[in-house]
Amino acid sequence: MDKKSFSMLVCPITRTTLKYDEKAQELISKKAKLAFPIVDGIPILLVERARKIN
C-alpha cells in the first residue's frame, strides 16, 4: 500500500483517522493510544497486534 492508501484507514476501535509513522512503519491511533504495525506494506489493524503508546 502507498502513503495515500493509509490515509483512508481508520482505527478499528475509535473509528478515527490514523497517523502514518513512516520511520516506525506504524499507523498511530492517538485516541486509542495504540500503534498498529505495517508488515511488508500491509497494515495489521488487529488490537492484539497493536502496541500501547503514551
Q: Which of 18, 16, 22, 29 is nearest to 2 (CA)?
A: 22
pTM here is 0.91
pLDDT digits (tens, 9 = 90+) for 11-26: 999 999 999 999 999 9
Residue 13: CA count within 13 A, CB half-sphere: 15
pLDDT digits (tens, 9 = 90+) for 31-45: 999 999 999 999 999
Q: Which of 12, 16, 53, 14 is nearest to 43 (CA)?
A: 12
Q: Which of 49, 15, 22, 23 is nearest to 35 (CA)?
A: 49
> How many angstroms separate the CA atoms of 38 and 47, rounded?
13
- Report how many domains make up the chain: 1
Residue 6 has pLDDT above 90, yes or no: no
Q: Where are the alpha helices (DSSP H) in 1-54?
A: 3-6
**Domain that residue 35 falls in:** 3-52
Say what the pLDDT of residue 2 is.
Answer: 77
Say what the pLDDT of residue 50 is.
Answer: 98
Residue 1 has pLDDT above 80, yes or no: no
Question: CATH number, domain at 34?
Answer: 2.20.25.10
